[in-house]
Amino acid sequence: MNDCCIICNSEDRIILEKVRDTDRLTKELFSIVKCKECGLSYIASKPSEQDLAKFYFDGYYGKPNKGFQIIVSFFKNYFQSLRRSKIIFFKKNGK
């Protein structure tokens, strides 16, 4: 697993906090770290798709194309696109 910063690829980081998942059944402990190069804070040891499924099960955001779910899907897609654009921008500009 690659635990480097997704913005600058640095592995030089400091631990900000250790937090336990208290809302779900896993009770896993996560380290929130901050990159010493660019300042990005992120979860160390990024979870796999399979691990994420433990937290975001089918139906987590409601049923597809039903009522409120349409709005949630729109904003989810919008913010994912925005986040992706920022990451690409920072990677291209070396920030």
Write down the pLDDT at residue 85.
Answer: 85
**Prediction pTM value:** 0.53
**Between the CA atoms of 32, 88, 71 and 66, what dihedral angle is there, to the nearest 10 degrees?**
-90
Residue pair 42/31 in contact (Cβ under 8 Å)? The answer is no
Write down the pLDDT at residue 39.
Answer: 93
Write down the pLDDT at residue 29.
Answer: 86
Q: What is the mean pLDDT of each run of 10 residues along the chain (95 residues)?
A: 80 93 74 93 84 73 65 83 84 72
Residue of 46, 31, 23, 35 whose CA lies nearest to 95:
35
Write down the pLDDT at residue 74.
Answer: 82
Write down the pLDDT at residue 54.
Answer: 75
Write down the pLDDT at residue 67.
Answer: 62
